[in-house]
Amino acid sequence: MKFIYQTWWKVIAVLLVFSTFITGLLFRVPRLPIIHETIRNLYFHVPMWMGMLTVFVVSVYYSIKYLRSGKEEHDLAAVECVNTGLMFYTLGLLTGMLWAQYAWGEFWSGDSKQNSAAIAFLLYCAYLVLRNSIDEEQKRAKISAIYNIFAFPVMIVLIFVLPRMTDSLHPGSGGNPAFGRYDLDNGMKLAFYPAMLGWSFIALWIATVRYRIRLIENKKNAIN
Amino acid sequence: MPLINMKKLAFLLPLLFCFAIASAQQAQPVEMADVLRSSGKIYVVIATICIIFAGLAVYLFSIDRRLKKLEKEN
């Protein structure tokens, strides 16, 4: 049976995320000014981006696969991965904004991390707009696959590279504490890694469910 | 005997002094949700989150199962 139809990894993902609710909220965390207990957002806000990243990587994989094989399923897998990724993207942005309200004083302060995340969000929205603007199926699949392959590295640079090179308030940028410093705390690793892994697989799971629905829809819409 | 004690004291006192300075240099205590945790109410929040996530997980599993049935029919 194919991996996406199996149940065991879905159960593991749920259990991993469950464990982080307990470890992430109860275990001791470093006492840092300004962020206080919101340091625990590391277990909930950051995994949203990890989940997004996972499905986007899978999406690029299927876009490349589509260009090589020309099989329609690969194109459908790529779209549904982007759809799921955008959901997690939105959750990441919203939780980040909520945190910014309390740590930085404003929901949106035009911080470079926030701005480039917004630009990358539009980049992926453009992918969906591009798809819907082309009627011919093979052309649509091919063009959007190429767009997707190019959009991914641009998104990576916008979200994970550029804010680190400029003055961003976000943890991990401009000398603000992030991984390096939290990593010293072994207690935090215990909740952080399961959260990253668990949420990645949850995102993947939702993407596979969407993909399977899409396959059925596609079959129904096909000309018999 | 008293000589040894004096020696010990001479060793311990500066050490204690150093410790006092080190702890005084630490930043003032950072405010955390200690009260909430000590009064045990954080467990309520954890339980709430767990219930919500359990519900969502069960829901996802049930969607998965329905989908499997549909896939078999097709």
What residues of chain A have any CB closer than 8 angstroms to a CB in chain B?
A: 5, 7, 10, 14, 17-18, 21-22, 25-26, 31-33, 36-37, 205-206, 209, 212-213, 216, 219
Tokens 């469910």, residue located: A209
Whether the model clears a pTM of 0.95, i.e. scores above it, the answer is no
- pLDDT at res. B7: 62
Domain count, chain B: 1
Size of interface A-B (CB pairs under 8 A): 51
| Interchain proximity A209–B42, CB inside 8 Å | no
Distance CA A88, CA A86 (A): 5
For chain A, state the CA radius of gyration.
19
CB distance from B68 to chain A under 8 Å? yes
Whether the pLDDT of residue A224 is over 80: the answer is no
Task: Tell me which residue of A89, A177, A215 sits closest to B70, measured CA to CA.
Answer: A215
User: Which of A14, A21, A33 is facing B30, going by the closest CB pair?
Assistant: A33
Task: Give the angle subtended at the CA of A87 by the CAs of A6 and A177, to the nearest 5°.
Answer: 100
| Interchain proximity B57–A14, CB inside 8 Å | yes
Structural domain that includes position B71: 32-74
Whether the pLDDT of residue A126 is over 80: the answer is yes
Residue pair A34/A205 in contact (Cβ under 8 Å)? The answer is: no
The answer as to whether B48 is a domain residue is yes
Tokens 């630009």, residue located: A119
The answer as to whether B38 is a domain residue is yes
The answer as to whether B11 is a domain residue is no
Interface probe for A, chosen from B34, B43, B71 (most Cβ of A below 10 Å), is B71
Distance CA A101, CA A54 (A): 28
- Average pLDDT of the residues of chain A: 90
Interface probe for B, chosen from A3, A25, A26 (most Cβ of B below 10 Å), is A25
| Interchain proximity A25–B46, CB inside 8 Å | yes
The answer as to whether B24 is a domain residue is no
The answer as to whether B7 is a domain residue is no
pLDDT tens digits for B4-45?
566 665 666 665 555 555 555 555 677 777 765 666 677 777
| Interchain proximity A17–B53, CB inside 8 Å | yes
CB distance from B21 to chain A under 8 Å? no
CB distance from B64 to chain A under 8 Å? yes
User: Which of A21, A206, A216 is facing B71, going by the closest CB pair?
Assistant: A216
Instruction: Please give the share of chain A, as a percent, with pLDDT higher than 70.
Output: 93
pLDDT tens digits for A177-215?
555 555 557 778 888 999 999 999 999 999 999 999 999
ipTM of this complex prediction, to 2 decimal places: 0.71
The answer as to whether B72 is a domain residue is yes
Residue pair A144/A105 in contact (Cβ under 8 Å)? The answer is: no
- pLDDT at res. A34: 80
CB distance from B59 to chain A under 8 Å? no
The answer as to whether B13 is a domain residue is no
The answer as to whether B55 is a domain residue is yes
Helix axes A137-156, A72-103, angle to 10 degrees: 30
- pLDDT at res. A58: 97
